[in-house]
Amino acid sequence: MSQKQGNGICLFCYNNEELDYAKFAILASQYAKKQLNMPVTLITDDGTLEWMNTSHDKNLIEDSFDNIIIDGSVTEKRTNIRRHQDSPWSEFNAPFWNSNKHTVFDHTPYERTLLLDTDYLLMNDFYNYIFETDMPIAMHRYAQYIGGDMPYTNEITLNEAGIHHWWSTIVYFDQSEESKLFFDIWSHVKDNWEYYSLLYQFPKMLFRTDFCVSIATHLMNGMNNDDFVHDFMAQPLLNMDQKDDIAQVNGLNDVVFLKHNRTEQWKNILCRHTDQNLHIMNKRALDRHYQTLLDLAKEKASV
Amino acid sequence: MSEEIEIENNDAPKRGFVTLGINTGEDNIRYCYALACSIKVCDPDASITLIVDKGQLGNVQSFYEHVFDYMIELPYGNSAHKDGFHGMNLWQVYHATPYEETIYVDYDTLFINVDVNDLWSVMSSRNGISVPIDALAYRNFPVPKTWRFEYETQYKLPRYFYNLMYFDKKDKTVAEWFKMADPVLQNWRDVYNHVFPNKKPEYFQKNVLGNVITHFVDHTDDIGVKLNNHYDLHTLSHGVFNNPDEAPGNWTDMLNYWVTNNKKIQIENSVIGSGIIHYSDETFLTDEIVDVFRTNLTQRLQER
């Protein structure tokens, strides 16, 4: 019998020299709690926790996280360098530690868990419904970018003739055998990354959990694009491109973006999204507006 | 127009499948044979008729015969004998079929784990004539209609699939459709010139002409049915080749595929475990694949 109880949210957070993921985790937690009213568990390492304790108010940390679990296994093992953009004109490299994301199945203290990336801000309560269903696993199969742009080709399928791409940005799961199998496959793909990169024909250089979950989902869907894994009612994940910027935060659930034009990158388009969950892929933009976003979350909470 | 010739066959079952197998330089009956085996694996009681060229009945190799319930000659001969586009004979299927209710199936099709009763019930649910309104590609993605139906889209014609057609001979609509099919299919070049003033298909395309016929008889809104297990593996259906001008003639040149002994088709990393699969590429059907379906049929019949 599983000892886990209730519903809750999990976040992974590992700082590096370029990005303060602890800040993002606090923000993501504040928004998630506000929308879903559920406990949040943070999974991190000693270094990140120490930095969080020195750089943030103790009350804010306690208010943001109901549990903190230390798992330092990931940062010791491998360097996964990822190129980030901040607008079309600025880029930087940073390590990206995500190889233990599948361990959330064991780490979570909850019977039903929503695993969120720290750059995902909940601005509505859409995900509440999934906790009332019998679905063992759910992820987004589809995505779109702010302003209605299509995802990039390798975000639709793993290669031109390849399997469907699924997003690990938000993973809902319970403690069923099906969920266990899903995370076991995820772990197996991670352990045999080079083999699966050849079999499914994707670049092996950057370890991507999206590819792990895509393969696991493909296998569990009967080796095709089927419906065993729930896709949040085909709702697309809303991404903000790393080349886009946040122009202004109007309110708690109201953000104006400066979206780049893909074909003519020097052109920018203002677009506004209200009450929509947002995957803020430009981390520097999120960092620049951290205090405003946090203040809005705290302000509404105190009211 | 050809004169009406009705073939009376009082012993024939009410319902059955019909396919066209026109041998020219090579053995085309092997495709019909694989199709028939695959249908009988799904339903050993299904009745299947092979239609061959006039005067060619004796030339069908005897080891194919066991799978067909009837073998019939084209009543008016092979109207494609000059061009070699055998789909041109579709108009004669109406006259040749021994059944009251017929499902015509293109020879380059396989049935895998299909509920045949359900297929009849869906296809006969709307009208006297029906064709699939949509199809899936090998990754279960919907077929991109803009590419697959390039001419239909440009000229605002219906966008249906004619590799699988249900018709009930008693229905007036059916007679109308096939009566129109006779001149359209036999005079397809003139029809192209008439219907497509600008860009036109470069060769005979049965599917395009099927949609032209449906448009001519004004049955666009009446004949489409939704089948959730209909696969169209035409090169332009896969959604893989982004530039239709650079798409290979045979999709099997570019995509890896396997057929397992338990009849599952795997293309690249995706498995099709069940469905009506119009593979649309003759090089797909190797002797090994024919053997898979022959062996499965033998086992199925032994199990009964």
Q: What is the pLDDT of residues A225-249, one digit of tens each?
A: 999 999 999 999 999 999 999 999 9
SS3 assignment, position B177: helix
Q: B139 and A224: CB-CB below 8 Å?
A: yes
Q: A162 and B242: CB-CB below 8 Å?
A: no
SS3 assignment, position B67: helix
Say if A132 falls within a structural domain.
yes
SS3 assignment, position A299: helix
For residue B288, CA distances in Å to A12, B257, B285 come to 51, 13, 8
Q: Supply the pTM of this predicted model.
A: 0.90
Is the Cα dihedral A249, A255, A258, A262 positive or negative?
positive
Q: What is the fold of B15-108+116-229+285-303?
A: Spore Coat Polysaccharide Biosynthesis Protein SpsA; Chain A (3.90.550)
Of B240, B272, B273, the CB nearest to A161: B240
Q: Strand locations in chain B, DSSP E?
A: 15-20, 48-52, 70-73, 101-105, 109-112, 129-132, 164-168, 224-225, 230-232, 257-259, 265-267, 270-272, 275-278
Judged on CB neighbours under 10 Å (0-12, 13-18, 19+), B8 is: exposed
d(CA B54, CA A125) in angstroms, rounded, equals 69
d(CA A59, CA A294) in angstroms, rounded, equals 14
Interface of A with B in 169-228 (CB under 8 A): 199-200, 218, 222-226
Is-contact B140 B270, C-beta < 8 A?
yes
Alpha-carbon gap: A182 to the closest alpha carbon of chain B (Å): 18
Q: What pLDDT, on a 0 to 100 scale, did the predictor assign at position B56?
A: 86
Say if A70 falls within a structural domain.
yes
d(CA A11, CA B212) in angstroms, rounded, equals 57
Q: A161 and B266: CB-CB below 8 Å?
A: no
Q: What pLDDT, on a 0 to 100 scale, did the predictor assign at position B1?
A: 43
**A287-296 mean pLDDT:** 96
Alpha-carbon gap: A224 to the closest alpha carbon of chain B (Å): 5
**A113-118 mean pLDDT:** 98
Residue appearing with tokens 């976040």:
A11
CATH number, domain containing residue A294: 3.90.550
Q: Which residues sit opposite B105 in a β-bridge?
A: B164
Total beta-carbon pairs less than 8 A apart between chain A and chain B: 36
Q: Tell me which chain A residues have a C-beta less than 8 angstroms from the C-beta of B240.
A: 160-161
- Number of H helices and E strands in chain B, helices first, is 9, 13
Q: What pLDDT, on a 0 to 100 scale, did the predictor assign at position B4?
A: 44
Mean pLDDT of chain B: 92
Q: Is A162 on the interface with B (CB under 8 A)?
A: yes
Q: Is A164 on the interface with B (CB under 8 A)?
A: yes
Q: A161 and B268: CB-CB below 8 Å?
A: yes
Chain B residues touching chain A at CB-CB below 8 Å:
139-141, 238, 240, 242, 254-255, 266, 268-273
User: At B84, is the pLDDT very low, low, confident or very high (cuts 50, 70, 90)?
Assistant: confident
Domain limits, chain B: 15-108+116-229+285-303
Task: Characterize A112-126 residue by residue with b for buried, 16 or more Cβ atoms within 10 angstroms of its Cβ, and e for exposed.
Answer: bbbbbbbbbbbbeeb
d(CA A105, CA A96) in angstroms, rounded, equals 20
Q: What pLDDT, on a 0 to 100 scale, did the predictor assign at position A266?
A: 87
**pLDDT tens digits along B133-165:** 999 999 999 999 988 999 999 999 999 999 999
Q: What tokens were used for B20?
A: 């066209």
User: At B3, is the pLDDT very low, low, confident or very high (cuts 50, 70, 90)?
Assistant: very low
d(CA A285, CA B177) in angstroms, rounded, equals 62
Residue appearing with tokens 């049965």:
B206
User: At A78, is the pLDDT very low, low, confident or very high (cuts 50, 70, 90)?
Assistant: low
d(CA B57, CA B70) in angstroms, rounded, equals 11
Q: What percent of chain B has pLDDT over 70?
A: 96
Q: Tell me which chain B residues have a C-beta less than 8 angstroms from the C-beta of A222.
A: 271, 273
H helices present in A84-201, as ranges: 104-107, 177-191, 193-199
In 10 A of CB B198, how many CB atoms?
Answer: 6
Mean pLDDT of chain A: 94
Say if A155 falls within a structural domain.
yes
Nearest Cα to Cα of residue B110 among B274, B297, B260: B274
**pLDDT tens digits along A120-165:** 999 999 999 999 999 999 999 999 999 999 999 999 999 999 999 9
- B173: pLDDT strictly greater than 80: yes
Structural domain of residue A141, as residue ranges? Answer: 7-240+283-302
Is-contact A2 A105, C-beta < 8 A?
no
Q: Tell me which chain B residues have a C-beta less than 8 angstroms from the C-beta of A225.
A: 139-141, 270
Alpha-carbon gap: B139 to the closest alpha carbon of chain A (Å): 6
**pLDDT tens digits along A16-53:** 989 999 999 999 999 999 999 999 999 999 999 999 99
Say if A38 falls within a structural domain.
yes
Q: A161 and B242: CB-CB below 8 Å?
A: no
SS3 assignment, position B293: helix
Say if A261 falls within a structural domain.
no
Total domains in chain A come to 1
H helices present in A208-254, as ranges: 209-220
Is-contact A254 A278, C-beta < 8 A?
no
Q: Tell me which chain B residues have a C-beta less than 8 angstroms from the C-beta of A218.
A: 269-270
CA dihedral A37, A43, A48, A51 (to 10 degrees): 30
